[in-house]
């Protein structure tokens, strides 16, 4: 359960004084955010502070207590929102270290796609699989300064920015609200612990071949069991196209895998099982006639779950900024 911190209490207890002083200030952030930078860390003798958070959710107050910090003898410096931010260039550097743009597919459009003019401080980042208008509404409401959109919202060249097309409306709103946009897409797919590693993690230990596309399991697993593992991992239904030579009990040792739409990448893979988000009817027929069974799990479903790992990596390298997963980021297809 997450609580939103609405007040931070700093108690100063100098050894030379019997009466403590209290400093109150507002802190609007997730209670899970690191609070170490809130109080300056200079060395001092004789003064310690106990830091607690009064949190509220559904009218119920809770208190989170943190370990004592050492603070200056003569002052407590409370950091402003600007102190808790990072400049956009620094955040982009972190994203590029995690998923270098040079590793992206040659056809892709990754990196910083929308950059506000002048200096741009980032306090909060919103991660989403697709930058839809609903996600854009959420970003504006939350007041974020950067959106990390797995799929690049700008892919085909834009000849105009008009209100008649939704993607162009999104770009205009980013500019109007001074929100930067970054897309890692296929660079994150092939990164360590990126999209493809996350998708394959449910199948157990494996070695990688063919540029990371093919995973060879340390021990063969029944095809039906692999389908069940993938379904549990995604928390969503999967669909299976059986090759003529396979049954649900057939042992599988080699899995070729690509998040999203992987038919072209998996076409020539030497594997008993292909795993991807989507394939066309005829691509499925080609695969099964080549002797490979196919597991499909919907395009965005095969990708979205990896964003939590990317957000956590950014949080670890930039603990003073807030990272958020978009709640409005849902796929266009829903069961009925």
Q: What is the pLDDT of residues 104-142, one digit of tens each?
A: 999 999 999 999 999 999 999 999 999 999 999 999 999
Task: Give residue 44's pLDDT.
Answer: 27
Task: Give residue 12's pLDDT.
Answer: 35
Task: Give residue 136's pLDDT.
Answer: 98
Task: Give residue 81's pLDDT.
Answer: 59
Burial class (CB in 10 A: 0-12, 13-18, 19+), 189: buried
- Has residue 80 got a pLDDT over 70? no
Q: Which residues are annotated as a binding site for a divalent metal cation?
A: 151, 189, 299, 303
- Has residue 163 got a pLDDT over 60? yes
Of 30-44, 116-130, 147-161, the least confident: 30-44
Of 310 and 61, the one with more pLDDT: 310
> Cα separation of 256 and 266, whole Å?
7
Phi-psi region of 193 (alpha: psi -120 to 50; beta: other; left: phi over 0): left
Q: What are the pLDDT digits (tens) for 82-91?
A: 568 999 999 9
Task: Select from 180, 111, 93, 183 the least CA-distant residue to 139.
Answer: 180
For range 307-335, the mean pLDDT: 95
Q: Which residues are annotated as a binding site?
A: 151, 189, 299, 303
- Distances in Å between the Cα of 274 and the Cα atoms of 267, 283, 307 are 9, 11, 22
- Distances in Å between the Cα of 27 and the Cα atoms of 34, 38, 319 are 12, 9, 15
Using an 8 Å Cβ cutoff, are 299 and 256 in contact?
no
For range 23-47, the mean pLDDT: 32
Q: What are the pLDDT digits (tens) for 245-260?
A: 999 999 999 999 999 9
Task: Give residue 336's pLDDT.
Answer: 86
């Amino acid at each position: 359960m997450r609580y939103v911190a609405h007040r931070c209490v700093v108690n100063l207890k100098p050894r030379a004084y019997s009466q403590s002083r209290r400093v109150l200030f507002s802190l609007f952030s997730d209670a899970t955010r690191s609070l170490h930078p809130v109080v300056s860390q200079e060395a001092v003798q004789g003064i310690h502070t106990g830091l607690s958070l009064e949190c509220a959710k559904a009218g119920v107050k809770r208190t989170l207590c943190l370990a004592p910090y050492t603070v200056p003898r003569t002052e407590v410096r409370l950091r402003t929102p600007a102190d808790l931010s990072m400049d956009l260039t620094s955040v982009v550097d972190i994203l590029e270290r995690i998923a270098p743009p040079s590793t992206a597919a040659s056809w892709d459009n990754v990196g910083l796609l929308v950059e506000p003019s002048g200096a741009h401080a980032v306090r909060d980042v919103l991660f989403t699989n697709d930058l839809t208008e609903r996600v854009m509404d959420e970003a504006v409401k939350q007041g974020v300064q950067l959106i990390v959109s797995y799929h690049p919202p700008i892919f085909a060249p834009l000849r105009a920015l008009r209100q008649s097309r939704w993607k162009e409306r999104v770009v205009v709103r980013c500019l109007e609200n001074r929100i930067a946009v970054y897309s890692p897409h296929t660079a994150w797919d092939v990164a360590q612990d990126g999209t493809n590693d996350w998708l394959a993690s449910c199948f157990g230990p494996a070695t990688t071949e063919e540029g990371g596309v093919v995973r060879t399991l340390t021990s063969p697993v029944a095809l039906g069991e692999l389908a069940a593992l993938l379904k549990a991992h995604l928390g969503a239904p999967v669909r299976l196209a059986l090759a003529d030579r396979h049954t649900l009990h057939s042992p599988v040792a080699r899995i070729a895998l690509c998040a999203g739409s992987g038919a072209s990448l998996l076409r020539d893979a030497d594997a008993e099982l292909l795993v991807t988000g989507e394939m066309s009817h005829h691509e499925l027929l080609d695969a099964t006639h080549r002797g490979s069974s196919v597991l499909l799990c919907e395009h965005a479903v095969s990708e979205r779950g990896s964003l939590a790992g990317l957000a956590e990596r950014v949080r670890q390298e930039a603990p003073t900024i807030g990272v958020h997963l978009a709640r409005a980021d849902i796929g266009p297809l829903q069961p009925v």
